[in-house]
Chain A
Amino acid sequence: MTIQRRKLKNKAINYIILMAVAVIMLYPLIWMVFASFKNNQEIFQAALIPSKWTLSGYINGWKGSGQYTYATFFKNTFLMVLPMVLFTVISASFVAFGFARFQFWGKKVFFAIMMACMMLPNAVMIIPRYIMFKDMGWLNSYLPFIIPCIFGGGSFFIFMFMQFFRGIPRELDESAYVDGCSAFMVYLRIVMPLAKPAVFSAMIFQFMWSWNDFFGPLLYINSVGKYPLALGLRMSMDVNMSVSWNNILAMAIVSVLPLIVLFFTAQKYFVEGVAATGIKG
């Protein structure tokens, strides 16, 4: 077999594997999409494709319940999530730079503390946190979510940035210092641009997790008018009467669309962006 042929064969095999695995992986989602176009009765029937395509799931689902449509829930989710993402990226990378590039008094101890924080089960801190937020008057707002992001953004992101930074050779820093850069400039001009993959990963992860967060809003947000999508979806679901599954599935898909769009556009950057760094060779 010629080299051309073999290359082609390999490529074909790769494609086949990728497609097959993709289909298996995505079957639940494929099912979900088709189901959202069915009417409620059909959902529990075996056929994948609806016998009668209908948009009623989307139309009725969007209306939401009570006074608020899903437009409100969307708006609220953005209000909550965007600041969180922004502050997390800035704050976590800043802090990670400190950990990754410097020796300083108490470093080992602080690092150990940071790792330990990642492992503390969240559930345990919920009640003391709740009482604290209430005393500060932050309840029924998005502050309990946003403010902690300004102060480090969470150990996960700090750790992640750290690991990425450590993959960037120190020689770059050193040559910048020799040229007279301050530490902050090294952070901003040298290391951060090279850490684009990490930045985008952090953005995507934080966006995704905040977008999907259910328990936090459940505790801290009281009024339906401030519900983010997660609570709105849940509210549609948990009624006494029989549930309209097609509405819920339709709204679930709609609520996930921004995440998909974000990932699709951003992932171009973060995986291929490292190409022109000049480190190679």
Chain B
Amino acid sequence: MKKLLTAAIAASLTSLFLAGCGGGSKTGSANLATENDSSQTEVAKQADGKQDTAMGDLVTLRFSWWGGDSRHKATLACIDAYMKENPNIKIEAEYGGFDGYQDKISAALAGGTEADIMQLDQPWMSTFNSQNPDFFADLTQFGDQLSLEGFSKDFLNDFCVYNGKTVCLPTGTNALDFLVNKKVLEEAGVEFGDMITWEDLVEQGKKVNQANPDNYMINMDNGITFYVTRIYLYQMTGKQVINEDYTLGITAEDLEKAMTYTKRLFDEKVIVPYEESMIFKGAPQDNPKWNNDQFGSWLNWSSTADQQSWGANAETLRYPTLEGCVNSGVLVRPSQLFAISNNSKHKEEAAKFLDYMLNQDAGILTLKDCRSIPACDYARSLLEEKGLIYEPASKAIAFAMENPGTPESNVTNSDEVYDALASIIEKLVYGQYPDAKAAADDAYQTMSNMLETIKADAQ
């Protein structure tokens, strides 16, 4: 027993030592020179990974992103290639899945420990930039290292310019995509014309379930609130759901119409019922029926278009629209964004790396479309030439660009308010309201109240 105890103490002290030191050193890096020369404070600062060393031009950049395996592999390969070309640069990769990423970034920004280069999601930008306009560096100041030529000015203005600064660059383009599984549709006798209305979606879509009670036309969790209800509202009214001044841009009557339609999808069994989709909330593609050809379609962003194994059966059709709609509602937005932290000690080097990834052949061809169709014209044509683009995704973008919907305003991305709306729609579908009007009135009231509170807080 004593021996065990002594051994245990020895082991723990060793690991404590290692663990404590581990905070200061780079993972498996060969920065022996710097570590030997560093003083205590240097070692502590190195924990942030941003301190320039006294020896030579050695630069360390921290680069954080989210994604799946394929994106990780491609990005890591890109990093390796860049480091080979630039031996004085070391890029530390920090990557993981999407879940929890936003929390991590927010906490990091709040604590000042964010990475030098960050991948961000467009809906977050309004929050971040309104709270602190100086989180991110203005990318126009790196004219020598990073070219912004290839990006559409309008696109940048709509999504990347905040408080007059260009704080981020789009890594790729995303558009709303109505992706169908041709096999399922054929077997159920579903036919769509070139222009598809929401009516068509119901009339044709319900055939899938009629053909086989286990199958459904649409696979979606309560993301339906966005991809159907909000887009429907948008097309119908042409107005933002939430205005810049924290008032609701739509009326209770508008809500009623949109919610009535949404409920129809459930009532007529066009969409998989909540009881079933609930289990796969947040990841509808985990439902085994998905790969089993039991779902007919997928309404989502084009960047998710390749997340199925339908092979040649996958096809993009035009996103459903409303007859006589005011706005096409087919949103186009950056798939992700890259930004440089304003706290970074090596902004120029970071900008250079961004240029490598977005503008230069080597970077473009390594990354391919792991972040969706590139937003930079040059990159896109390069990939198209080489046939490296997923066709249904690019088709969705082509459709959308014909008549893109107006981008959503900053304030509309208020999670809390939309969650409230989603909750009420859920209740409506479960039959907790006598009719859609009651639900719509409730939604209108609740959302207005919430907005008032948010507005008061933002003063």
Contacts and interface: CB of A to CB of B under 8 A. Distances in A.
Nearest to B43: A137
Contacts of B308: 242
B286 A241 contact: no
A224 B16 CA distance: 19
B97 A234 contact: yes
A242 B99 contact: no
Nearest to B44: A137
B454 interface: no
B92 A79 contact: no
Given A82-B11, A241-B69, A241-B307, A141 B286 contact: no
Contacts of B8: 82, 86
Contacts of B286: 242-243
B52 to A, nearest CB: 17
B23 A131 contact: no
Interface string B23-52: 110011000000000000000110110000
Contacts of A157: none
A272 interface: no
Nearest to B23: A141
Contacts, number: 129
A131 B96 contact: no
B15 A240 contact: no
A219 B18 CA distance: 20
Most A Cβ at <10 Å: residue of B23, B68, B72: B23
A231 B113 CA distance: 20
Interface in A76-113: 78-80, 82-83, 85-87
A44 B291 CA distance: 12
Contact of B19 (A65, A79, A225, A231): A79
A32 interface: no
B94 A222 contact: yes
B193 interface: no
A146 interface: yes
A238 B71 CA distance: 13
Given A66-B95, A239-B68, A141 B20 contact: yes
A224 B9 CA distance: 28
A82 B12 contact: yes
Interface in A188-237: 218-219, 222-226, 231, 234-235, 237
B94 A223 contact: yes
Contacts of A223: 27, 92-94
A253 interface: no
B99 A234 contact: yes
B69 A139 contact: no
Contacts of B93: 66-67, 223-224
Interface of B: 8-9, 11-13, 15-16, 18-20, 22-24, 27-28, 44-45, 47-48, 62, 64, 67-73, 76, 92-100, 103-104, 107, 110-113, 115, 283, 285-286, 288, 290-291, 304, 307-309
Given A66-B95, A218-B104, A234-B100, 16 more contacts: A67-B93, A78-B15, A79-B15, A82-B11, A83-B15, A85-B12, A86-B12, A131-B110, A142-B22, A222-B64, A223-B93, A238-B99, A238-B283, A239-B69, A240-B67, A240-B307
